[in-house]
Amino acid sequence: MHSVHDIASYDITGKGFDKKIEQIVRVCHMNYLIYIDRLIYKKFDFHVYVSLKSSWRPKWWEKLKKRSGYSPHTYGYLGATDITCDDYPENWEILLEYLIKHTDYTRLAVYHTKWVDKNGKEHQGGFIHGDYQNECNDAYVYKVVGGTWYRDYQIERR
């Protein structure tokens, strides 16, 4: 797992990013996630992580992976981060609650994953994608089914 406290955890390439991207990472993602990690650990005794270093991805990386290059992860606007936690299948609802309460993300997409390891053992996990893209200055939680996002409910903030 990749610590929310380490700036390198937000760079999927491992090559670093320019100062503008680094500032967006720190202000729009890292500061919130460090705060949430501290709150959750103090109250529930589990940690929050950046999932697979999946925050900033350069367009060339997206293209290399046969993607469009227009993902919010390319930081064309304020970027995106995929966030997970210890024992995600048990703790994802707490993580989502804290992301809603303590960030300004306008889209939170909840992913649940399953995989089988080389020994045939099944595992469950997942992550929550957070970004700032929206259509009408609104915010929603999305459930993800088969890779497709479906609006689940609107986020109400003060």
What angle (nearest 5°) sits at the alpha carbon of residue 33, between those of residues 155 and 67?
Answer: 75
Quick: pLDDT tens for 98-142: 999 999 999 999 999 999 999 999 999 999 999 999 878 889 999
pLDDT level of residue 46 (50, 70, 90 thresholds) = very high
Asked whether residue 17 carries a pLDDT value surpassing 80, the answer given is yes
Beta carbons within 8 Å of 74's beta carbon, 6+ residues apart: 56, 57, 58, 59, 62
Q: Is 79 exposed, middle or buried (0-12, 13-18, 19+ CB in 10 A)?
A: buried
pLDDT level of residue 158 (50, 70, 90 thresholds) = confident
Residue 26 DSSP label: I
Quick: pLDDT tens for 52-89: 888 999 999 889 889 898 899 999 899 999 999 999 99
Q: What is the number of domains present in the chain?
A: 1
Whole-structure pTM over 0.75, yes or no? yes
Gap between the Cα atoms of 138 and 145, Å rounded: 22
Gap between the Cα atoms of 33 and 39, Å rounded: 10
Q: Is 125 exposed, middle or buried (0-12, 13-18, 19+ CB in 10 A)?
A: middle
Asked whether residue 1 carries a pLDDT value surpassing 90, the answer given is no
Per the structure, the complete domain to which residue 64 belongs is given by: 2-154
For the residues 40-48, what does the mean pLDDT come to? 98
Query: For residues 137 and 145, is the Cβ–Cβ distance under 8 A?
Result: no
